[in-house]
């Protein structure tokens, strides 16, 4: 049985945080296109250089590059039962490409979790986000602090603040989200796949909502 869950929502709303919970609960890989781009930037390869030129300005990486990247990721063995997609698709063209790709191996998007929170919260969350160098584990200096400042609880690697979480870039990312990604709300509503999650509450309450929605939606989607 193939399961694909998409997490949709503005930057900083909690997609990565919730994706990690769902992925571990369903034993599916957590695929974050942002994490894959950052790994390539760290390696300093051509894809990394190209991605960095967009990411550093808060713009989206072009669709053809991003779609090719996802297609390649899906060929890896850990994707055999499906995936939790965090930050992909981000444009209607990516959503169309995803549908075609999943159809080609007998899958479909089973559920889209659309997480919402007011802009002030997004800014506050991104300003205090600390990410782990090794595996992208996510912390917040106030809302989810690590046990030891600057060190990842899970793998002991260094925590850092992303360059694109600077205030100027964040505002740009939110604008880009509204223009290029928000049309996906209608796209997936029309396809009866979208469920809205109120992301304003603390991490644990959001994750309880998410868990119950996922359970219900998957039993009807697979049933
Ligand atoms: P996204 O992937 O949507 O950009 P993240 O999951 O990385 O969002 O979360 C952004 C920041 O907000 C992180 O520092 C995270 O710890 C924090 N965070 C996530 N969910 C919540 C929440 N419900 N309440 C408060 N802070 C949160
Ligand atoms: P956040 O967790 O704050 O939403 P991500 O880590 O998902 O941020 O993405 C960081 C950046 O990587 C984006 O601002 C964008 O430049 C690029 N990116 C990630 N996913 C995509 C995508 N699906 N299409 C285009 N660009 C993307």
**What's the pLDDT at 192?**
97
* CB-based pocket (< 6 A), ligand 2: 11-12, 15-16, 32-34, 37, 54-55, 58-61, 66, 87-88, 90, 94, 164, 173
Full pLDDT tens readout for the chain, 223 residues = 899 999 999 999 999 999 999 999 999 999 999 999 999 999 999 999 999 999 999 999 999 999 999 999 999 999 999 999 999 999 999 999 999 999 999 999 999 999 999 999 999 999 999 999 999 999 999 999 999 999 999 999 999 999 999 998 999 999 999 999 999 999 999 999 999 999 999 999 999 999 999 999 999 888 7
Q: Residue 196's beta-bridge partner residues?
A: 114
Write the DSSP symbol of residue 121: H
Q: Which domains does the chain have, with CATH numbers?
A: 3-28+81-221 (3.40.50.300)
Q: Is 199 exposed, middle or buried (0-12, 13-18, 19+ CB in 10 A)?
A: buried
Among 7, 11, 12, residue to substitute to test ligand 1 (most atoms within 8 Å of Cβ): 12
Q: Which two tokens stand for residue 22?
A: 């769902």
Indicate which atom in ligand 2 lies nearest the CA of residue 62: 25
The answer to whether 55 and 109 are in contact (CB under 8 A) is no
The answer to whether 131 and 151 are in contact (CB under 8 A) is no
Residue 99 burial (CB count, 10 A):
16
Residues marked as catalytic: 15, 90, 129, 162, 173
- List of E strands, the chain: 3-8, 30-32, 82-86, 111-116, 129-132, 138-140, 159-160, 194-198
HEC per residue, 53-92: HHHCCCCCCCHHHHHHHHHHHHCCHHHCCEEEEECCCCCH
């Amino acid at each position: 049985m193939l399961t694909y869950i998409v997490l949709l929502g503005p930057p900083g709303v909690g997609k990565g945080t919730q994706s990690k919970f769902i992925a571990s609960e369903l034993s599916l890989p957590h695929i974050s296109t942002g994490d894959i781009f950052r790994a390539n930037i760290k390696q300093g390869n051509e894809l990394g250089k190209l991605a960095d030129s967009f990411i550093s300005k808060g713009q989206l990486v072009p669709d053809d590059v991003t779609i090719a990247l996802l297609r390649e990721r899906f060929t890896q063995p850990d994707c055999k039962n499906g995936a939790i997609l965090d930050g992909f698709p981000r444009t209607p063209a990516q959503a169309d490409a995803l549908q075609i790709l999943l159809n080609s191996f007998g899958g479909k998007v089973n559920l889209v979790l659309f997480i919402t929170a007011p802009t002030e919260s997004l800014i506050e969350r991104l300003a205090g986000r600390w990410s782990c160098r090794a595996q992208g584990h996510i912390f917040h200096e106030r809302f989810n602090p690590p046990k030891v400042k600057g060190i990842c609880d899970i793998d002991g690697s260094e925590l850092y603040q992303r360059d694109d979480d600077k205030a100027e870039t964040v505002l740009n990312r939110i604008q880009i989200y509204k223009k290029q990604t928000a049309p996906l709300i209608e796209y997936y509503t029309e396809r009866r796949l979208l469920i809205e999650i109120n992301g304003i509450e603390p991490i644990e309450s959001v994750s309880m909502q998410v868990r119950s929605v996922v359970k219900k939606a998957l039993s009807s989607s697979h049933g």
